[in-house]
Amino acid sequence: MELKDRMPVLYRHLGVWDGYYRYFDKDGVKIDEHKSRLLCRFPTEHTYHQTNFYFWQDGKKETRDFPTKIENNKIIFYTEVSGWAAEVTLDEFNRTVMLYWVRTNEENLHLYEMIQISDCGKYRSRVWQWFKNGRLLQRTLIDEEFVTTDWQSYENLQPEYADIA
């Protein structure tokens, strides 16, 4: 059975996504915001590769790269973050993916993420809940719009803040 049949919700995320991240402390006060472009690809039946480009209005930029492997219908992270991503099989609407991950360089910090993709596949919303020593530290809200499945055309581009919708 092909990957798109084994993991149909995850496979719907294939392509380029432009978005906006907003970070809030545990009391709901905004502490940061930036734009993003994500390249989501499945190079083989057993791998997923995501590259995140972040852009702040003041010109700051950051790139994070997440090559992964796929085992037992889960994406396994093993770089600067470790953890997993999996479809929520209880979601009869086939919209939800859950993630659990830790940053390997930060002690006692872990995150849970929920990704909700729209039925039309053009929009997705993500929520990160950050926990430090078992207590809520902050939340990140992410709104994204689908750009194209043609991630190859975007792989070597270096966009600017103004290029992201």
| Cα separation, 155 vs 51, whole angstroms | 9
Residue 84 covered by a domain? yes
Residue 159 covered by a domain? yes
Give the per-residue pLDDT at 141.
98
Residue 29 covered by a domain? no
Residue 30 covered by a domain? no
pLDDT tens figures, 11-25:
999 999 999 999 999
pLDDT tens figures, 68-116:
999 999 999 988 899 999 999 999 999 999 999 998 888 999 999 999 9
Residue 105 covered by a domain? yes
Mind giving me the DSSP string for the chain? --HHHHSHHHHTT-EEEEEEEEEEETTS-EEEEEEEEEEEEEEETTEEEEEEEEE-TTS-EEEEEEEEEEETTEEEEESSEEEEEEE-TT-TTS-EEEEEEEETTSTTEEEEEEEEE-TTSSEEEEEEEEEETTEEEEEEEEEEEEEES-GGGGTT----GGG--
Give the per-residue pLDDT at 158.
84
Please tell me the least confidently modeled range out of 33-42, 90-99, 154-163: 154-163
Residue 27 covered by a domain? no
| Cα separation, 21 vs 36, whole angstroms | 7
Residue 28 covered by a domain? no
Residue 42 covered by a domain? yes
Question: What's at 110, amino acid-wise?
Answer: H
Its pTM stands at 0.93
Burial of 74 (0-12, 13-18, 19+ CB in 10 A): middle
| Cα separation, 129 vs 108, whole angstroms | 14
Domain that holds residue 50: 3-22+35-163
List the CATH number of the domain containing 9: 2.40.128.20
In this predicted structure, the answer to whether residue 45 has a pLDDT above a threshold of 90 is no
| Cα separation, 41 vs 13, whole angstroms | 8
In this predicted structure, the answer to whether residue 1 has a pLDDT above a threshold of 70 is no
Per the structure, the count of domains in the chain is 1
